[in-house]
Structure 1
């Protein structure tokens, strides 16, 4: 992630539709100044990995990364956010998450990736459960509030053995 990516990231954060679909925490609109302060802070953070997703056609279209790294238990929490339109339904999220999982499991040696999906976000459920081999592990009922209503959050995860099985299935398809 570089300074030139800040405006694209700020647009993602400030888009209420995107935030409602993917954010399971509190999010407020961010000014350019606040974004630059945030960038200074995260540039020094070595416990979180943040990468910009770029395509040849559209340039920067989102970001991906890992946070909540627990080296003792070999776990982390992936982050993924794509801009509306540009990269949707083109396999960009699938490719980005496959690359992130490969890095997390094969390079960093993680045993487990944890996730949380807003229950209304059917596209993310398809991505994680159907394409990426993640398992639904539970539901936090009425865990987040937006649009005047409480929404459920699906807890999910993938362990290293599930990832290896996914790779074997994908190899057999080819």
Structure 2
């Protein structure tokens, strides 16, 4: 099943995506902007990660595809709590030349539509490192997410500690947003 946004196609990650994913997995400029801890990885590690994707029912990981460009990044809904209808969302755009063109916004809107309209989730959450102003702005200013808390001195990057911005959106917030911005109209 493919999930269609206005400009992006959200699809399953395929084995032919692994060279690009491996390249991005070893790009410190990308990973310094994301939550979690990352180590240099070889291609075999990337392949094992891919092979294990289908074994986890609480994680959905997707490729972000753009017609004419192909694979531009990944999105996910992980740590899914099916009983309480919630999950943790993340997005990663690979190469610099695809950023700032609306693909991230369309991806987040598409993932929210999938989560709230297809999976009937009640909420989505994410974490954003405090210096990732582009992500904070797109989630909170354009996509209707709310800063719900701050974990102080949570991430160690660039030889110091940074705060973790806890950001979330509810089903109600999403439907209010799409009613106001008419995104899917």
Instruction: State the TM-score, normalized to the length of structure 1.
Output: 0.95
- The corresponding residue for 2:75 is 64
The Cα offsets for residues 42-69 of structure 1, whole Å up to 9 and x where unpaired, read as 1322221111111123211100110000
8 Å Cα contact 1:61/1:86 also seen in 2: no
8 Å Cα contact 1:3/1:39 also seen in 2: yes
Instruction: State the TM-score, normalized to the length of structure 2.
Output: 0.89
Which of 22, 29, 35 is the aligned partner of 1:17? 29
Task: Report the Cα distance in structure 1 between the residues aligned to 2:146 and 2:74, rounded to whole angstroms.
Answer: 23
* Paired residue total: 172
8 Å Cα contact 1:64/1:78 also seen in 2: yes
Instruction: Give the drift of 1:139.
Output: 0.7
Instruction: Give the drift of 1:14.
Output: 1.0
8 Å Cα contact 1:58/1:86 also seen in 2: no
Q: Which moved more, 1:39-48 or 1:146-155?
A: 39-48
Runs of 5+ in structure 1 lacking a partner?
Answer: none
1:156 paired with 2:179, answer no
Which of 103, 124, 137 is the aligned partner of 1:92? 103
Task: Report the Cα distance in structure 2 between the residues aligned to 1:135 and 1:7, rounded to whole angstroms.
Answer: 35
The Cα offsets for residues 108-128 of structure 1, whole Å up to 9 and x where unpaired, read as 010010110010000001110
Which of 126, 137, 147 is the aligned partner of 2:137? 126
Task: Report the Cα distance in structure 1 between the residues aligned to 2:55 and 2:167, rounded to whole angstroms.
Answer: 29
Task: Report the Cα distance in structure 2 between the residues aligned to 1:44 and 1:137, rounded to whole angstroms.
Answer: 32
Instruction: Give the drift of 1:41.
Output: 1.1
Regions of 4+ moved over 6 Å: none
Alpha-carbon RMSD = 1.3
Task: Report the Cα distance in structure 2 between the residues aligned to 1:142 and 1:57, rounded to whole angstroms.
Answer: 41
Runs of 5+ in structure 2 lacking a partner?
Answer: 1-12
SS class of match (1:21): coil
8 Å Cα contact 1:66/1:79 also seen in 2: yes
SS class of match (2:41): coil
8 Å Cα contact 2:58/2:81 also seen in 1: no
Bigger fraction of residues in helix:
1
Task: Report the Cα distance in structure 2 between the residues aligned to 1:8 and 1:47, rounded to whole angstroms.
Answer: 24
Which of 35, 50, 53 is the aligned partner of 1:42? 53
- The corresponding residue for 1:80 is 91
Which of 44, 52, 56 is the aligned partner of 1:33? 44
